[in-house]
Amino acid sequence: MQAIILAAGMGRRLGDLTANNTKCMISVNNEKLIDRMMDHLLSLSLSRIIIVIGYEGDKLKNYLKSRYPGENIMFVENSKYDKTNNIYSLSLTRSLFQEDDTLLLESDIIFENELLDELLSYPYPDCALVSKYERWMDGTMVKIDGDNNIVNFINKKAFCYSDIDNYYKTVNIYKLSRSFINSQYIPFLEAYIKSIGENEYYEQVLSLLVLVGNIRIKGVPVDANGWYEIDDIQDLHIAETMFADPECRLYNLNHSYGGYWRYQCLLDFCYLVNPYFPPERMVDEIGSNFGTLLRQYPSGMGVNSMLASKYFNVKSDYIAVGNGAAELIKVLVENLRGKIGVIYPTFEEYPNRIDKEKLVIYETSYPDFRYTSDDIIAYFSEHEVDNLIVINPDNPSGNILSWQELNKLAGWSGERGIKLVIDESFVDFSTVDKNMSLIKNDILEKYPCLYVVKSISKSYGVPGLRLGFIASSDRSMISNIRKEVSIWNINSFAEYYMQIFGKYEDSYRLACDKFKEERDRFENILKLVPYLRVLPSQANYFLCEVTDRFTAHELAVLLLKDHNILIKDCSGKRGFPHDKEFIRIAVRDKRDNKALVTALLSYL
């Protein structure tokens, strides 16, 4: 068996990275694509490797000759690489192509070696690696029947989103027999080029052969985690994360700050959202208006403040809408004058936005990072501040102040002229008191120095909308915040969500009730893991002490490497004892929570 690698393309979408080199010469985690591919191919005892070169072909040719001296590597040049496509590159090899069974590969693919081994061991002479369609995939798709026969090729023009459940993406790696190449493929290839042209794709010939019923090509389904096609800078970034060693992969994911939908089968126990809301009917309603919302400008702050006031049933001049709570947090802390009190450990979006010399920090010494309003009052009575920030329930501890405690704290702050910021993004998950939200006209009016922040991502399960609120009867502060954000700071989808939410309030309450039941169940099974101490929580996460076997970092790396599960490593965060290890685990739905506990127990 021989291998043919198509490597003539220019890779324009990779910009400067391919300004002086062909695409397969770019590096993923300090290893060139072509080196990774060649090293494995050369381990297979193939009769030869044929490489079609074009753009910057001499550089590739000279590099491979020097790196792999004595190996049977042949080069075929496509001098028309800028005017043709890969069907022409393959046609240039026809005399060599016909001489042996062939592995056909495109040079811009990174893949695990096991995928090629699986293709070679598959008991059928003509087959292609395929993966079940995922959102990040682009290019030629196929359909396969119950016997894994490819029954249709779907090009970009024929792609239909309503049919994606039946699609598989070609990995662009084929195993083809000499018999098929000579009797079927080459004759159709030559006829296709004559009638259609050279600026086409070799898979179109396979599509034609399948269509006329002349051949059977098997699809060999493989895990989408095992390969990636690199066409642009974003593809390169994703590939570097997917194929990094576990330590680097964890680092890259943590510093992506989201976008995890790009990574197939990643179970995200790091970011915090409600797994039971929004309901499918709400998603369908937004989806049915997708075209209109995509093509229309959103309203400005005036209209969106009115929608927000309807959302929470408060006066419209008491509330401002943000592109996520993060936007509002930034503007809010910039408007706070004087010293700012913060309780550690905490949600670090707040202290990270504050000049260090303005911070006054209270680190609770109680077990499990508990504290009460009396503790806060006692500390900040001795350490005077002009502003105080409280996350309730707190993140990452899950500690909560009751309704009575919040009122006591707000009264004390008001007497001292302290601006009190309460972030209640997780309060809807609490079982301490009913309807604990402070976003109510009477409360905001009773405490004019109270500012309530709420992220819609967390409890309402719509982080992609980027929607948050701040409420206060301090009209001057609310007005300043509105002026300092951009005129169109939220998009049409977020605006429409606010507009229709009222129809789904009952669904939201049911979703929160369902969540609380699952949190209780999850807590009980998490406690079965002997090396975790699970702290009680009133939020949608658990802070857990890793008591033995691993450090928090080691456990995070292992779960990602072995089970594709991402958790939050809290080691190194301020407010945690240096001699103890902590992780934070989000609460997901029953199936995902079971998968995590199973993974944790596997290390016993």
> Tokens at residue 187, please?
């004759």
Q: What is the CATH number of the domain that holds 592?
A: 3.90.1150.10
Distances (CA, A) of 387 to 48, 259, 416, 417, 449: 73, 34, 10, 9, 9
Q: What is the model's pLDDT at position 225?
A: 84
Residue 159 CA to residue 433 CA, distance in Å, equals 52
Give the pairing type, strands 102-106 and 387-391: unpaired
Residue 518 within any structural domain of the chain:
no
Residue 319 CA to residue 453 CA, distance in Å, equals 10
Residue owning tokens 């002086």: 20
Together in a domain, 335 and 480: yes
Together in a domain, 94 and 135: yes
Are 150 and 143 within 8 A, CB to CB? yes
The b-or-e profile of 378-405 (16+ CB within 10 A means b, else e) is ebbeeeebbbbbbbbbbbbbbbbbbeeb
Per-residue pLDDT tens for 309-321? Answer: 999 999 999 999 9
As a whole number of Å, the end-to-end CA separation of the chain is 45
Are 512 and 345 within 8 A, CB to CB? no
Q: What is the CATH number of the domain that holds 340?
A: 3.40.640.10
Together in a domain, 569 and 467: no
pLDDT over 90 (residue 111): yes
Share of the chain above pLDDT 70, in %: 100
**pTM (predicted TM-score):** 0.86
Residue 509 within any structural domain of the chain:
no
Preceding peptide of 278 cis, ω within 30°:
yes
Together in a domain, 150 and 254: no
Structure letter (DSSP) for residue 137: -
Residue 485 CA to residue 442 CA, distance in Å, equals 27
Q: What is the CATH number of the domain that holds 218?
A: 3.90.550.10
State which H helix or E strand residue 127 sits in. strand 127-132
Q: What is the model's pLDDT at position 270?
A: 94
Identify how many contiguous H helices and E strands the chain contains and give both numbers. 23, 26
Q: What is the model's pLDDT at position 214?
A: 66
Together in a domain, 46 and 149: yes
> What is the mean predicted confidence (pLDDT) over 64-79?
95
Q: What is the number of domains present in the chain? A: 3
Give the pairing type, strands 359-363 and 387-391: unpaired
Residue 357 CA to residue 337 CA, distance in Å, equals 12
Residue that finishes a domain, picked among 210, 232, 254: 232
Tell which residue, 89, 99, 72, 94, has the closest CA to residue 24.
89
Q: What is the DSSP string of 414-483?
A: HHHT-EEEEE-TTGGG--SSSS-----HHHHHH-TTEEEEEEHHHHHS-GGG--EEEE-S-HHHHHHHHH
Residue 224 within any structural domain of the chain:
yes
Together in a domain, 18 and 82: yes
Amino acid at 164: I
Per-residue pLDDT tens for 489-544? Answer: 999 999 999 999 999 999 999 999 999 999 999 999 999 999 999 999 999 999 99
Residue that finishes a domain, picked among 204, 232, 260: 232
Per-residue pLDDT tens for 557-578? Answer: 999 999 999 999 998 889 999 8
Residue 374 within any structural domain of the chain:
yes
Three-class DSSP labels, 60-86: HHHHHHHHCCCCCEEEEECCCCCCCCH
pLDDT over 70 (residue 301): yes
Residue 514 within any structural domain of the chain:
no
Binning pLDDT at 50, 70 and 90, where does residue 444 land? Answer: very high
Residue 292 CA to residue 289 CA, distance in Å, equals 6
- CA dihedral angle for residue 46, residue 48, residue 54, residue 58, rounded to 10 degrees: 110
Residue 274 CA to residue 271 CA, distance in Å, equals 10
Q: What is the DSSP string of 273-339?
A: --TT-S-HHHHHHHHHTHHHHHHSPPP-HHHHHHHHHHHHTS-GGGEEEESSHHHHHHHHHHT--S-
- Other beta carbons within 10 angstroms of residue 138's beta carbon come to 12
Per-residue pLDDT tens for 408-440? Answer: 999 999 999 999 999 999 999 999 988 899 999
Together in a domain, 249 and 214: no
CB within 8 A of 313, min separation 6: which ones? Answer: 440, 441
Together in a domain, 500 and 531: no
What are the two backbone dihedrals, phi and then psi, of residue 5, each rounded to the nearest 5 degrees? Answer: -115, 125
What are the two backbone dihedrals, phi and then psi, of residue 444, each rounded to the nearest 5 degrees? Answer: -60, -35
Q: What is the model's pLDDT at position 572?
A: 80
Tell which residue, 532, 48, 589, has the closest CA to residue 268.
589
Together in a domain, 139 and 251: no
Residue 453 within any structural domain of the chain:
yes
State which H helix or E strand residue 495 sits in. helix 492-500
Domain assignment of residue 446, given as a range: 280-504
Tell which residue, 396, 384, 385, has the closest CA to residue 349.
396
Are 451 and 471 within 8 A, CB to CB? yes
Residue 144 within any structural domain of the chain:
yes
Together in a domain, 224 and 364: no
Residue that finishes a domain, picked among 232, 262, 291: 232
Residue 454 within any structural domain of the chain:
yes
Share of the chain above pLDDT 90, in %: 84
> What is the mean predicted confidence (pLDDT) over 182-196?
92
Q: What is the model's pLDDT at position 20?
A: 87
Together in a domain, 81 and 205: yes
Per-residue pLDDT tens for 334-364? Answer: 999 999 999 999 999 999 999 999 999 999 8
Per-residue pLDDT tens for 213-268? Answer: 767 899 999 988 899 999 989 889 889 998 999 999 999 998 888 888 777 778 99
Together in a domain, 70 and 187: yes
Preceding peptide of 577 cis, ω within 30°:
no
Per-residue pLDDT tens for 158-168? Answer: 889 889 999 99
| Chain centre distance of CA 473 | 37
